[in-house]
Structure 1
Amino acid sequence: MTLVRRCCVSSDHRYQYRLLAFVSIAFCLGSATTGATAQGATGLLTEQTAVEQALADNPSLMAMQLRYEALLAVPSQVGALPDPMLNLNAMNFPTDSWDRDQEAMTQLQVGISQVFPFPGKRGLHEEAAAFDAMAAGHSVDEMRIQLVQNVKARWWQVYYLDRALDTLNKNQTLLRQFIAVAKTKYETGKGLQQDILLAQLELSRLMDQGIQLEALRQHQAIALNTLLDRPAAERFDIPVKVPLSMPALRDEMALYEAAEMYRPTLKQRATHIEAARSRLELAEKDRYPDLRLGVVYGARDGDNPASVGGSRADLFSVMLGAQIPLYSGSKQSKAVSQRTTELARSRYQLIDEKGAVRAAISASVTDYRRSRRQFELFATGIIPQAQLTVQSMLAAYQVSEVDFLNLLRSQMTLFNYELQYWKALSEARQALARLEAAVGQGDLYE
């Protein structure tokens, strides 16, 4: 009896030591959840570094920039005079002899002619092309801010998945401690085998969730690498420690006004209106004819009749021509109607774009404020309360006042709250990135 009693006491001591160690680990891991420690920053892909790499290396942005630079060369081309025409003519050669001096009108001519568009047309051509180039420049700026927004969104998604994987790994460690404690209690006759099975099942479920999170992380990393023009499978790490502050935003009307000043897509639409107005004026001027001026010098051989005497004189001619808008009703008038419609369309497109920008601002503000409130609630209320609940249940479980299932549920609830904490932080930062893109630039904060 004494030997059996000593064995039981020894088993109880081992169980208590394991349980105390488990409680210590659970407390440390739970406390570390919302105060993640920083890793070394050397070689890490920070949000700012990712943005800088994308702006420097993204091929789509480079292609758009080169298109803009190509369009800058167009205005001077369309605003220049048409190239002059050089003419070399052999005129009025007799077919019986082909002699230059047989007929008085036989001559070799050299001439040059130049078309002069009606005054104002060249300037309007150049002006419309300049507006097109300016719009292309705004499209480059728009693509740049959209690229920054996409990079930031992908970066914060990867950040969330990294924190989710860290949290999951910590909870897997806790569940292994759960299993060890459940086994100890079962061996001492104070626990149930189903407690062990429940903990093992929950551990397997977390392992499955980890597989899914790893795959999601790889997909987001591939998308981010593509934006940075890096190999899709290239591995990278991002820092754990990030700013947790959530600044207050300006009111939405102020953000609307900032967007109308700075958002490139609105500037692009406004520039399209100016280009359409220039083309309408050009269509109206097409009712007036272009002029053609030419000069010709004709060299002749042979002599004049005896009554006149002397060699034949060379000839000089001046020619003036003009286009006749003979089909104005089906051509020039239709062009004016077309350009008028295009101008109206451009105006409506600007109105529609303003509405879309305002909607994007309002949606981003709503998402940010919601995520901010959730983040603060999880950080200051829900997670600390859930941690205290788990610690209280651990103490109660030690003296068999709480069953294992409730303890397990409380820990899984804490795990889910921790995931929502990191998700709220990530979604708030992504909402800020969308808001920055919607406004264009300017101060967003109070």
Structure 2
Amino acid sequence: MSILPRIIKPAIFGALVLTSLPGWAEPELELTSVINTAIENDPWLRQSARMQDALMEESYADGALPDPRVTIGAANLPTDTFDTGQEGMTQATIGFSQRIPRGDSRHLASEKKTRLADVQPFRRENRREQVTERVTHLWLELWRSQESIRLIEDKRGLFEQLSDVAEAGYTSATMGSRQQDIIRASLELTRLEDRLAALNTQLASNRESLGEWIGAEAAQLPVTGQIPPELSTGLPDRWRETNIDGLIRHPSIRATDQLIDAQAIDVDLARQAYKPEWSVFAQYGYRDRAPNGQDRADLFSVGIGFDLPIFTGNRQDRKLRSSTARLEAARSERILKMRDLQARARAAMARMEQLDDRIRLYRQTLLPQMEEQASAALTAYDNDDGDFAEAVRARIDELNAQVELTQILAERAKSLASFRYLTANSSEDPSLKLPNHQD
């Protein structure tokens, strides 16, 4: 028996099995995975963690006593002979001193660094929310460009058919086609090519921007064909009026609160300057024997020292007023940040309401009317009862409306992503939560 059938039969069977299986789907960029990758690869988060570690180490260091000071010297040497045994007061000395900072300044300095370290977790949380917003906007721009290209490429076949119909009618002279109809059809195809070129340019630019966060190679993959449900859902009625109490839990506000606490410690540190700084010292002096061989007693000294902060007008008072002013400035900055978040959240809410109205108008009225108009114009032209230019114009208007709806959907999703950032941690409503990502 020939070996050829033994090879061909299994090959045919394998081909039939493979063709019966669903085709391998091309990998796509899902928004959640893009966000997770961007956050995981963000070097700013690692920098913040290192900064927190550095501040905690400084906190321990600032809470410790200053290093003691040791002095070694010779005292009361006679300048005529420099003989250590000539005078009874000549001695070799070794001393020890320890400075004790003012009041509670060590504890307060340590506490300040701890508060500054506590700022970093909130800054990282805010950064993750910012990255989520930024990457979501870039993903939506990719989706908008990709979906617009898909719509135009789907319609290009129709315009090619119209061009063929016009050319066939002109050639056969049975449909009343004119040369200008052929030119018009060719012109619209050229315009479509130009729009595709412009959209592909935008698509390439958006891919490069997204590549900064997830890598250039990954950014070349297409995005999923639909906007994720969490970016297309509506908002509860209770969010129609964004309140300040909800925004207090925003990570940027909580970071500001920690900075205010650190500024308050600066005020307490300035008050410590009114207290004296103490020091203790001890000194041992060795004396050589007298010229006659008599032993001399060694000497030991001990004492304390402190400064007198009595002239406070140009130093302590001014530093206290300066620290108090900085504290009030930080509190004012917090109020301004709260107002900014609230205003931007309400602006995003207003944009979403207007875009929702436009989306309903397009889906319920405008697109059905344009599709009906385009079909009627094409039918009239086929029945030699309409103008070719009108049929083409109706199809172009329908395509433009579909592309415009794509842009509106992307803008609405971007507004919701911004609203989510502005109201981060302000609600436990699942519809307002961001896609899951790892801290």
- CA shift at 1:408, angstroms? 0.9
TM-score normalised by L of structure 1: 0.84
Q: Which deviations, in whole Å up to 9, do the C-alpha atoms of 1:148-205 show, x marking residues without a partner?
A: 1100010101110000111111222221111011111112212111111111111111
Aligned residues: 403
Of the candidates 276, 280, 286, which is equivalent to residue 267 of structure 2? 280
Q: Which residue of 2 aligns with 1:194?
A: 180
Corresponding position of 1:269: 256
| Contact 2:103–2:275 (8 Å) recurs in 1 | no
Q: Match for residue 240 of structure 1?
A: 225
* Residues 42, 108 of structure 1: alpha-carbon distance in 2 compared, 3 angstrom cutoff: farther
**Which residue of structure 2 lines up, in the alignment, with residue 333 of structure 1?**
317
Structure 1 range deviating more: 142-151 or 126-135: 126-135
Worse-superposed segment, 250-259 or 107-116? 250-259
Aligned-pair CA distance for 1:69: 2.9
Q: Which amino acid aligns with 1:280?
A: V
Q: Which residue among 245, 250, 253 is the counterpart of 1:257?
A: 245
Q: Which moved more, 1:77-86 or 1:240-249?
A: 240-249
**Structure 2, unpaired ranges of 5+:** 1-22, 433-439
- Tell me the equivalent position of 1:214: 200
> Is the Cα–Cα contact under 8 Å of residues 222 and 233 in structure 1 kept in the other structure?
no
CA distance in 1, matches of 2:391, 2:53: 66
After TM superposition, which residue ranges in structure 1, 4 or more long, deviate above 6 angstroms? none
Change beyond 3 A, Cα 1:41–1:316: farther
8 Å contact from structure 2 (residues 86, 290) kept in 1: no
Residues 222 and 232 in structure 1, CA contact (< 8 A), matched pair in contact too = no
Asked whether the 8 Å contact 2:242–2:345 carries over to 1, the reply is no
1:85-124 pair list within 5 angstroms: 85-124=69-108
Q: Give 5+ residue unaligned stretches, structure 1.
A: 1-38
Q: Could you tell me how far apart the structure 1 residues matched to 2:102 and 2:396 are? A: 81
Q: Per-residue displacement from partner, 1:310-348 (whole Å, max 9, x unpaired)? A: 521221111211122254211111101111110110111
- Matched residues in 1 for 2:380 and 2:245: separation? 58
Question: What does 1:51-62 align with in structure 2 at a 5 Å threshold?
Answer: 51-62=35-46
Which whole-Å CA distance do the structure 2 matches of 1:376 and 1:255 have between them? 28
Residue-by-residue CA offset, 1:281-333 (whole Å, 9 max, x unaligned):
11122011110111111222214989xxx521221111211122254211111
Whole-Å separation in 1 of the counterparts to 2:111 and 2:295? 54
Identity rate, percent: 25
- Quote the Cα distance in structure 1 between the aligned partners of 2:34 and 2:115: 33
Instruction: Specify the code of the residue in structure 2 equivalent to 1:70.
Output: A
Q: How does 1:314-393 map to 2 (within 5 A)?
A: 314-393=298-377
Amino acid paired to 1:180: D
Q: Does 1:162 align with 2:146?
A: yes
Q: TM-score, normalized by length of structure 2?
A: 0.86
Q: 1:211/1:233 Cα in 2 relative to 1: closer, same or farther (>3 Å)? A: farther
Distance 2:144 2:190 in 1: 22
Q: Indicate the RMSD between aligned Cα atoms, in angstroms.
A: 2.3
* Aligned CA distance change for structure 1 residues 48 and 40 (closer, same or farther; 3 Å): farther
Map 1:280-319 → 2, pairs under 5 A: 280-303=267-290, 311-319=295-303
Distance (Å, rounded) in 1 between the aligned partners of 2:313 and 2:393? 82
Change (3 A) 1:78 1:253: farther
Distance (Å, rounded) in 2 between the aligned partners of 1:80 and 1:195: 89
Contact 1:276 1:342 in 2 (8 A): yes
CA contact (8 A) 2:31 2:228 kept: no
Given candidates 143, 162, 180, the residue that maps to 1:178 is 162
Cα shift readout 1:391-442 (whole Å, capped 9, x = no counterpart) = 2322222112221111111111111111122112211211111111111233
Change (3 A) 1:41 1:149: farther
Letter in 2 for 1:239: T
Verify the 8 A CA contact 2:62 2:109 in the aligned structure 1.
Answer: yes
